[in-house]
Amino acid sequence: MYTLDLVPPGGRVRIVDLRGGRELVSRLMQMGLHPGAIVEVVENSKGPVLVRVRGVVIALGRGLARKIVVMPLR
């Protein structure tokens, strides 16, 4: 397992855990980022990490992406 900021573009992963306070976790879950959700990384360069979840592309700051623990899909 590793964090979302380390997934290369095109990678598909499943969210395992959200590390953060109650408000942060609530905010992520409102965006559809919750444990069990499947996420595809669209872009992961120097700027924000762009992910697609449930057909919607979301931009996440790198610090926020580091709080999302994922595992690769097989």
- Widest pairwise Cα distance in the chain: 32
Enumerate the domain spans of the chain: 2-72
pLDDT in tens, 9-51: 999 999 999 999 999 999 999 999 999 999 999 999 989 999 9
Residue 55: strand, helix, or coil: coil
Q: Indicate the class that CATH gives domain 2-72.
A: mainly beta
6 Cβ contact list (under 8 Å, min separation 6): none
pTM of this structure: 0.94
Predicted local distance difference test score (pLDDT) of residue 25? 96
* Helix runs in the chain, H state only: 22-30, 62-65
